[in-house]
A = this chain, B = another copy of it.
Amino acid sequence: MKKRLFTPGPTPVPENVALAMAQPIIHHRNPEFIEIFARVNENLKYLFQTKQDVYTLTSSGTGAMEAAVANLFSYGDKVIFVNGGKFGERWGEICRAYGVEAIEVKIEWGRAVTPEEIKEQLKKYPDVKAVLVTHSETSTGVFTDVKELSRIVHENSDAVIVVDGITSVGAHELYMDEWGLDVVITGSQKGLMIPPGLSFIALSEKAWGMVERSNLPKYYFSLKKAKKALQNGDTPWTPAIALIVALDVALKMIKEEGLENIWRRHEKLSKAVREGCKAIGLKLFGEPPSYAVTAVYFPDGIDKKEFQRTLKYKYGVTVAGGQEHLKDKIFRISHLGYYDEIDIVGVISAIEMALLESGFDEFNPGDGVRAVQNVFAEYEKSKLTQNDDEKFLSCCH
């Protein structure tokens, strides 16, 4: 059966990226690999929109989160973290595991923290060293405006802002340097379209200053060691070579399409998924929505297990279920990474058919798909208008 993965990590791996991994393995000190790694490092800066080096760690995204905590902070440091979902919660867990005092801003799952809420906490705790947030909360499909949060943090404190961009990098607009984000992390099996096993972290000058003072124990995730190794174009430990070779191919694809185009594609596809779901009569969960993943309530009265089984075993479509208390309430459709218009038509069509076969029939077959295509048509129209404007400008200047 054809496999169609609509999960927020792993995401589908392009065929040429997958085949790159199957090439004969090369040694990481070979000139051939050093050349690949140098190119990867340049392209990662483009991806993060930063002049800082982006460090590649061999770990899942959680490893990069731990690297941020263990390298920036010291025993007893106080930080604020936003818990609006499973991954926001993780910031707190990691800090506490390391003896960092983590002040929780608890947000009802399904909404985003507001700049005012952060401002309020910064007034209450003026001595915090950092504010840790999640750009796209994978567990709820909620987007947080980290550009605005960064402004608030820097205007109201000396704290750094640490951003989990694991499912936002490559989906949402993100300008690390311009927005003043001090730490940005991401993972490989997300917008980067390669299998899991690598994570990435970049730090501002200010964050590097904190690394110098940090006294928490670390070795494998030591960013000082990573920095020293990178000065020789190297990593401190043997990296996941095959994944870096794949990453090189994926980053070339990203550069070719262009970040702005990729962000716009994710905006469009995510809007199409939302409109498609609404047209079928499904209620969306979470606001404002992430461009990476759409969370949808199961409709009342359907056999949820049967619905998911039909999706998976009849149409080859894997979506993600809900996590924690949302386990049987929502399912999540990912559109992060290697997706196009026809993929979205496919997943909405599969959802329509699986719903009809599971006893939910409050819509006409094709309603969802029509809404999806309407969104694409709108974007096509706006692109034409945009092109006309460009033409106008270019003939008048």
**Bound-complex Cα distance A318 to B31 (A):** 11
Q: A175 contacts the other chain (Cβ, under 8 Å)? A: no
B318 touches A30 (CB 8 A): yes
Q: A302 contacts the other chain (Cβ, under 8 Å)? A: no
A98 touches B58 (CB 8 A): no
**Bound-complex Cα distance A10 to B33 (A):** 12
Which of B5, B197, B216 makes the CB contact (< 8 A) with A243?
B197
- Complex contacts, A22 vs chain B, CB 8 Å: 18-19, 21-22
**Bound-complex Cα distance A241 to B10 (A):** 9
A24 touches B10 (CB 8 A): no
- Complex contacts, A10 vs chain B, CB 8 Å: 25-28, 238, 241
- Complex contacts, A196 vs chain B, CB 8 Å: 28, 58, 238-242
Q: Bits for A48-63, please: 1 = Cβ < 8 Å to B, else 0.
A: 0000000000111111
With A10-B25, A25-B13 as known contacts, state yes or no: A195 contacts B242, CB within 8 Å: yes
Q: A94 contacts the other chain (Cβ, under 8 Å)? A: yes
Nearest opposing residue in chain B for A2, CB measure? B24
**Bound-complex Cα distance A218 to B13 (A):** 31
- Complex contacts, A27 vs chain B, CB 8 Å: 5, 7, 10, 318
Q: A125 contacts the other chain (Cβ, under 8 Å)? A: no
Cβ of A96 to closest chain B Cβ, rounded Å: 9
Q: A275 contacts the other chain (Cβ, under 8 Å)? A: no
- Complex contacts, A3 vs chain B, CB 8 Å: 24, 26
**Bound-complex Cα distance A70 to B236 (A):** 19
Q: A209 contacts the other chain (Cβ, under 8 Å)? A: no
Nearest opposing residue in chain B for A21, CB measure? B21
B241 touches A195 (CB 8 A): yes
B12 touches A60 (CB 8 A): no
**Bound-complex Cα distance A237 to B238 (A):** 20
With A7-B27, A25-B195 as known contacts, state yes or no: A219 contacts B18, CB within 8 Å: no
Q: Can you report 28 A-B residue pairs in the complex whose CB atoms are below 8 A from each other?
A: A3-B24, A5-B25, A5-B26, A5-B27, A10-B27, A11-B25, A12-B25, A21-B22, A21-B242, A22-B22, A25-B195, A58-B59, A58-B197, A59-B63, A60-B220, A60-B239, A60-B240, A62-B237, A66-B219, A94-B219, A97-B217, A97-B219, A99-B217, A189-B238, A195-B242, A196-B242, A197-B242, A240-B243
